[in-house]
Structure 1
Amino acid sequence: MIQPAGAAVQNRSTAKKVLHIVLKIIAAFIILVLLFIAVVFTVNKASSYSEQKRTDHYGQLVPVDGKQMNVFIEGQGKETIVLLPGYGTAAPALDFKPLISELSPYYKVVVVEPFGYGLSDQTGKERTTANIVSEIHEALQSLHIDRYILMAHSISGLYSLDYVNQYSNEVSAYIGLDSSVPALREQRITSSDTKPVKWFRDLGFARVQLKLSPDAYEGLPYDEHTLDQINILMRKNMYNPTQLNEAVSMYANYDAAEQQSFPANLPVLFFLQENHPVTDQWVPEHEKQIEDSLQGEIILLDADHYLYRSHSAEISEKIRGFTDQNTNRAL
Structure 2
Amino acid sequence: MKAKFRKDLEFVKINGHKLHIFRCGDANKPKLVFMSGSGTVAPIYDFKVLYKKLLDDYRIIVIEKFGYGYSDLYECPCDIDSVVSYQKQALKMIGEKAPYILLPHSMSGIEAIRWKQMYPDDIKAIIGLDMATPLTYMEWGNKEIHKRLELMRRLKKLNNLGLMFWYPISKRELNKDEIQQHNLLKRRNLMNNCYVNEAMQVLKNAKIVARAGKAECPTLMFVSDGKQTSPNWISNEQKYAKSVNAETVFLNCGHYIHYYESDKISSKIKAFLSKLA
Aligned pair partner of 1:151 in 94, 97, 103? 103
Runs of 4+ residues over 4 Å off in structure 1: 192-199, 277-280
Query: Counterparts of 1:201 and 1:135 in 2: how far apart (Å)?
Result: 31
Cα deviation for residue 275 of structure 1 reads: 4.3
Aligned to 1:310: 260
1:168 corresponds to 2:168: no
Report 1:72-151 matches (<5 A).
Answer: 72-76=22-26, 78-145=29-96, 146-151=98-103
Query: Counterparts of 1:175 and 1:278 in 2: how far apart (Å)?
Result: 19
Aligned pair partner of 2:220 in 269, 272, 276? 269
Instruction: From the superposition, tell whether residues 84 and 301 of structure 1 become closer, same or farther in structure 2 (CA, over 3 Å).
Output: same
Cα deviation for residue 216 of structure 1 reads: 4.4
Deviations 1:220-262 (A, max 9, x none): 4433322221111010011222222112222222232332444
Question: Would the aligned equivalents of 2:104 and 2:127 in 1 still touch at CA under 8 Å?
Answer: yes
Deviations 1:20-64 (A, max 9, x none): xxxxxxxxxxxxxxxxxxxxxxxxxxxxx934xx22235310122
1:181 corresponds to 2:133: yes
Task: Flag structure 1 segments of 5+ consecutive residues without an equivalent.
Answer: 1-48
TM-score (norm 2): 0.88
1:68 corresponds to 2:68: no
Report 1:34-53 matches (<5 A).
Answer: 50-51=2-3
Query: Counterparts of 1:241 and 1:281 in 2: how far apart (Å)?
Result: 28
The aligned amino acid for 1:211 is F
The aligned amino acid for 1:212 is W
Aligned to 1:253: 205
Cα deviation for residue 277 of structure 1 reads: 4.3
1:212 corresponds to 2:166: yes
1:200 corresponds to 2:157: yes
Q: Secondary structure at the match of 2:136?
A: coil
Cα deviation for residue 278 of structure 1 reads: 5.3
Question: Would the aligned equivalents of 1:87 and 1:156 in 2 still touch at CA under 8 Å?
Answer: yes
Q: Which structure exhibits the higher relative contact order, with contacts defined as CA atoms closer than 8 Å and separated by 6 or more residues?
A: 2
Query: What is the aligned-residue identity percentage?
Result: 25
Question: Would the aligned equivalents of 2:225 and 2:252 in 1 still touch at CA under 8 Å?
Answer: yes
Question: Would the aligned equivalents of 1:154 and 1:180 in 2 still touch at CA under 8 Å?
Answer: yes
Instruction: From the superposition, tell whether residues 310 and 57 of structure 1 become closer, same or farther in structure 2 (CA, over 3 Å).
Output: farther
TM-score (norm 1): 0.74
Aligned to 1:234: 186
Aligned to 1:19: none
Query: Counterparts of 1:262 and 1:182 in 2: how far apart (Å)?
Result: 11
Instruction: From the superposition, tell whether residues 278 and 165 of structure 1 become closer, same or farther in structure 2 (CA, over 3 Å).
Output: closer
Aligned to 1:320: 270
Question: Would the aligned equivalents of 2:19 and 2:71 in 1 still touch at CA under 8 Å?
Answer: yes
Q: Secondary structure at the match of 2:253?
A: coil
The aligned amino acid for 1:200 is K
Question: Would the aligned equivalents of 2:23 and 2:59 in 1 still touch at CA under 8 Å?
Answer: yes
Q: Secondary structure at the match of 1:149?
A: strand
Report 1:17-36 matches (<5 A).
Answer: none
The aligned amino acid for 2:131 is S
Query: Counterparts of 2:59 and 2:153 in 1: how far apart (Å)?
Result: 42
Aligned pair partner of 2:174 in 196, 200, 222? 222
The aligned amino acid for 2:176 is E
Query: Counterparts of 1:85 and 1:195 in 2: how far apart (Å)?
Result: 17
Query: Counterparts of 1:196 and 1:325 in 2: how far apart (Å)?
Result: 45
The aligned amino acid for 1:238 is L
Deviations 1:254-279 (A, max 9, x none): 23233244433x00001111343454
Cα deviation for residue 100 of structure 1 reads: 1.5
Question: Would the aligned equivalents of 2:229 and 2:255 in 1 still touch at CA under 8 Å?
Answer: no
RMSD: 2.5
